[in-house]
Structure 1
Amino acid sequence: MLERQFPGVDYTEIEPALSSLVALVLDNPNLNDKFEREFEELLLLRNFGAAEILQFSMHILRWESVKRATRKALDECDDARRGRILEGVYESFDPDWEDRDLFRQFRSQR
């Protein structure tokens, strides 16, 4: 789904940065509240590029507060394109997330 939404995005180029972000979060559990707020704020942006950050991160972290915020944003969304992106973010919380193989780190999970 991400490839259809963002044709031409090279996920191999952005994956190291996304991995570093998740490592930073995992290495600083005392800042989880702040990180959660930051992830939730990404949901509100009209910057569709935030989808990759959220999907990669939440596939690993699976924070319930961010999942609930994603569901709420999706329920309140009245823009079809943004709705599809939010659906993709919501799906990334699932261990069997369909688009996880776009990222090398998740390919062995199939």
Structure 2
Amino acid sequence: MQVVQGVLATAEETCGAEALEPGLERALEILQGSPELRGQFESRLIALIDSPEEGVVEIVSFLMHVLRWGTVRAAVEERIGNPRGNVSNIRLYEAMLDAFSDSWRDRDLFARFSGA
């Protein structure tokens, strides 16, 4: 969770996905190395998507492009179908959902996925 908070803080201070990638890589490493944290992290990600602040789309998209957790995908799909609060967040949810695809449009924003 500290790594995610660090990514969110970086997102507030900078512009561009490249500044977020080291923290995202660290979060991914922790999750892949600690499968027992999955339930906690799924809950945290779902809580984040309910009020997507700066950096949330990048966190969810990056991690879910690799992990493809069905619980998080279902939560994003549910927000698209039944938006809570600000309906303009639908576009953000659609961007998150796109990351679950092999043909994710924004994957080239990150060195890991762009082949850089």
Fold in common (TM above 0.5): yes
Q: For 2:78 and 2:26, how far apart are their aligned partners in 1?
A: 28
How far does residue 81 in structure 1 lie from its aligned partner after superposition?
2.7
Q: For 1:9 and 1:39, how far apart are their aligned partners in 2?
A: 21
Residues 1:86 and 1:94: Cα distance change in structure 2 (over 3 Å): same
Aligned to 1:72: 78
Residues 1:46 and 1:100: Cα distance change in structure 2 (over 3 Å): closer
Q: Does 10-19 or 79-88 show the bigger shift? A: 79-88
Larger RCO (alpha carbons 8 Å, 6+ apart): 1
Q: Does 44-53 or 89-98 show the bigger shift? A: 44-53
Q: For 2:35 and 2:52, how far apart are their aligned partners in 1?
A: 28
TM-score w.r.t. length of structure 2: 0.80
How far does residue 11 in structure 1 lie from its aligned partner after superposition?
1.4
Q: Secondary structure at the match of 2:106?
A: helix
**Percent identity, aligned pairs only?**
29
Q: For 1:57 and 1:32, how far apart are their aligned partners in 2?
A: 12
Aligned to 1:22: 28
Q: Secondary structure at the match of 1:98?
A: coil
Aligned to 1:98: 105
Residues 24-39 of structure 1 correspond to what in structure 2 (within 5 A)?
Answer: 24-39=30-45
- Indicate conservation of the 8 Å contact 1:51/1:89, yes or no: yes
Gaps of 5+ in 2: 1-13
Aligned length: 101
How far does residue 31 in structure 1 lie from its aligned partner after superposition?
1.4
* RMSD of aligned alpha carbons: 1.5
Residues 38-53 of structure 1 correspond to what in structure 2 (within 5 A)?
Answer: 38-53=44-59
How far does residue 29 in structure 1 lie from its aligned partner after superposition?
0.4
How far does residue 9 in structure 1 lie from its aligned partner after superposition?
2.2
